[in-house]
Amino acid sequence: MVKPENEFTWRDIEIGAIVTTPGNAIQYRTGDWRSQKPEYIFDRCIKCGVCAIYCPEGCINQNEEGHFVADMYYCKGCGICATECPVYVISMVEEVE
Amino acid sequence: MAKRVGIETSLAISEVVAACDVDVVAAYPITPQTHIVEHLADLVANGKLDAEYIPVESEHSAMSACLGSVAAGARTFTASAGQGLELMHEVLFVASAMRLPVIMAVTNRAVSSPLSVWGDHSDVMATRDVGWIQLFVENGQEAVDNTICAFKMGEAKNVLLPVMVNLDGFHLSHMIEPITIPEREEISRFLPPFDYPLPLHPDKPVAMGDFAPPVIFSEAKWAQEINIRDSYETIIQTWQEFGQQFGRYYQPVEKYCTEGAETLLLTMGSFSETAMTAIDNLREQGQKVGLVRIRLWRPFPFEELRKAVGSAKTLIVFDRAISVGGPGGPVVSEVKAALYNEPQKPNVVSFVGGLGGRDVTREGFEEIITRGQEIAEQGSPNEFEIYGVRE
């Protein structure tokens, strides 16, 4: 990863602010937009993956147990996964961090 | 050697753009710029210019197509005026901030309403802060020369900025004058091929025009400011090189009879030539008057302006645009700002005139100078006066 954006000076910016490293949006921490975060009760989870399909950020991945979990580096806390989950595994709670 | 021929300024610009071996022209016709783009379209259609002519559906599209064209590394030209320039307004900011050197002729025209197809500087003054290099020319030869220079300045590796060549609509754009259009071969010795450092190319993908969150936006703007400020040296150097090869020299601030002048008139654009004849006449009558013309409007030549006007008692600034509800003309506002911190500075008097194509004759400029001297001595109830306005 390149240096954090708050350490960039004007001299570090490429001409015309052109981005020369394709795909570097992966470094963009959209997780800090979050005001709510998902909490899971996996006892009910049927491992259908509907939450991952609906996630607009594409940040929900299946873990070793087969459950679907959001990557908090990217999760914006939109709550679509909680709305779409057919068995109410996910509830949105206030982000305090 | 190139011959000196009688030709309309607009057509001469098209011819020289062709001689600069432009790759792409994307433009939408608007009075009084039409002849420039019509003739370029002719040159392409007749096989005399090997370029892509994109007949777009609006000026917004014209400038957008130009951005794409430069981004792919193509030498690109467009032209506009008046409402057309305003329709491309938002894209103008993008061209400069993305460092895409589009070269554009602007045949300066009044902006509606009331509808006027005639000339003044309202259009370009509304685009003052878009970050382009902005030049003003006074006659057909200067328009041709500065179009060539614009490509070289704008495309310079350390500059990479779009350049606007401003010429007065009708008063200059439609004037038939004796003009020397340099041959392609002469121009190619002066103007190297365009080599954009980070072009759009599948072998080395880049992303242009990305977004910047608050944490980086200020840095991007400061980089832009440093960039256009630093372009000044290259602009001066380009004019010098041009002079050495072609024998015609240009300065950011041009002076005429300023030696020992107590009263200076300041103008921009083709009216300067009329103003010169007024200065000649007044000088013959023994008056200590002179003329200063700003050629480089952006980046603004602060130091040269101070040097040019610093020792005068009275400076009369003639604007061809009105900043409604503001300080009068945009030029006087800039001039006053440039002089504010100087310990010794002239008394600055502001006139607006030549709006919507109205002529200012030699006698007119003589009246402006006389009235300006009166205001300098006695003051005026108004911040500025519109020359010739009927009350």
Same domain as B184, residue B74: yes
Q: ∠ CA B363-B367-B373 to the nearest 5 degrees? A: 145
Share above pLDDT 70 across residues of chain B, in percent, rounded to a whole number:
100
Residue A25 C-beta-side C-alpha neighbours within 13 Å: 8
The range of the structural domain enclosing residue B215 comes to 4-246
Q: CB distance from B197 to chain A under 8 Å?
A: yes
Instruction: Give the model's pLDDT for residue B130.
Output: 98
Q: Cβ contact (<8 Å) for B206 and A18?
A: yes
- Given a cut of 90, whether residue B1 has pLDDT beyond it is no
Same domain as B221, residue B119: yes
Q: What mean pLDDT comes out for the span B254-278?
A: 97
Same domain as B355, residue B276: yes
Residue B186 has phi, psi (to 5 degrees) of -65, -45
Listed in sequence order, the DSSP H helices in A25-87 are 50-54, 80-84
Instruction: Give the model's pLDDT for residue B17.
Output: 98
Among the three residues B246, B264, B287, which one is the final residue of a domain in this structure?
B246
Task: Note the pLDDT tens digit of each residue in B126-153.
Answer: 999 999 999 999 999 999 999 999 999 9
- Given a cut of 90, whether residue A27 has pLDDT beyond it is no
The CATH number of residue B332's host domain is 3.40.50.920
Cα B72 from Cα B317, distance rounded (Å): 42
Same domain as B291, residue B177: no
Share above pLDDT 90 across residues of chain B, in percent, rounded to a whole number:
95
Among the three residues B225, B246, B267, which one is the final residue of a domain in this structure?
B246
CB B185 within 8 A of CB B274: no
Q: What mean pLDDT comes out for the span B239-243?
A: 98
- Given a cut of 90, whether residue B74 has pLDDT beyond it is yes
- Given a cut of 60, whether residue B111 has pLDDT beyond it is yes
Instruction: Give the model's pLDDT for residue B310.
Output: 86
Q: What mean pLDDT comes out for the span B260-278?
A: 97
Same domain as B240, residue B258: no
Is B353 within the bounds of a domain?
Answer: yes
Q: How many CB atoms lie under 10 A from the CB of residue B113?
A: 6
Go through the domains of chain A in sequence order and give each one's CATH number.
30-94 (3.30.70.20)
Same domain as B300, residue B189: no
CB A77 within 8 A of CB A37: yes
Q: Cβ contact (<8 Å) for B198 and A20?
A: yes
Same domain as B231, residue B282: no
Q: Say which of B205, B212, B226 has its CB closest to residue A22.
A: B205
Cα B49 from Cα B37, distance rounded (Å): 13
The band of A1, judged by pLDDT with boundaries at 50, 70 and 90, is very low
Task: Note the pLDDT tens digit of each residue in A59-81.
Answer: 999 999 999 999 999 999 999 99
Is B391 within the bounds of a domain?
Answer: no
Among the three residues B215, B246, B277, which one is the final residue of a domain in this structure?
B246
Q: CB distance from B223 to chain A under 8 Å?
A: yes
Q: Cβ contact (<8 Å) for A13 and B226?
A: no
Is B356 within the bounds of a domain?
Answer: yes
The CATH number of residue B120's host domain is 3.40.50.970
Cβ burial of A97 (10 Å; 0-12, 13-18, 19+) is exposed
- Given a cut of 70, whether residue B353 has pLDDT beyond it is yes
Chain B residue at shortest CA distance from A4: B215
Chain A residues within 8 Å of chain B (Cβ atoms): 5-6, 8-20, 22
The band of B42, judged by pLDDT with boundaries at 50, 70 and 90, is very high
Q: Could you give the ipTM of this predicted complex?
A: 0.81
Is B175 within the bounds of a domain?
Answer: yes
Cα B55 from Cα B219, distance rounded (Å): 37
Q: Cβ contact (<8 Å) for A16 and B219?
A: no
- Given a cut of 90, whether residue B211 has pLDDT beyond it is no
The band of A2, judged by pLDDT with boundaries at 50, 70 and 90, is low
Same domain as B332, residue B275: yes
The band of B213, judged by pLDDT with boundaries at 50, 70 and 90, is confident
Cα B4 from Cα B177, distance rounded (Å): 10
Same domain as B180, residue B300: no
Same domain as B232, residue B269: no
- Given a cut of 90, whether residue A26 has pLDDT beyond it is no
Instruction: Give the model's pLDDT for residue B347.
Output: 96
Give, as one character, the DSSP assignment of residue B151.
H
Instruction: Give the model's pLDDT for residue B313.
Output: 97
Same domain as B301, residue B233: no
Same domain as B202, residue B169: yes
Q: Cβ contact (<8 Å) for A22 and B97?
A: no
- Given a cut of 70, whether residue B10 has pLDDT beyond it is yes
Based on the structure, what is the number of domains in chain B? 2
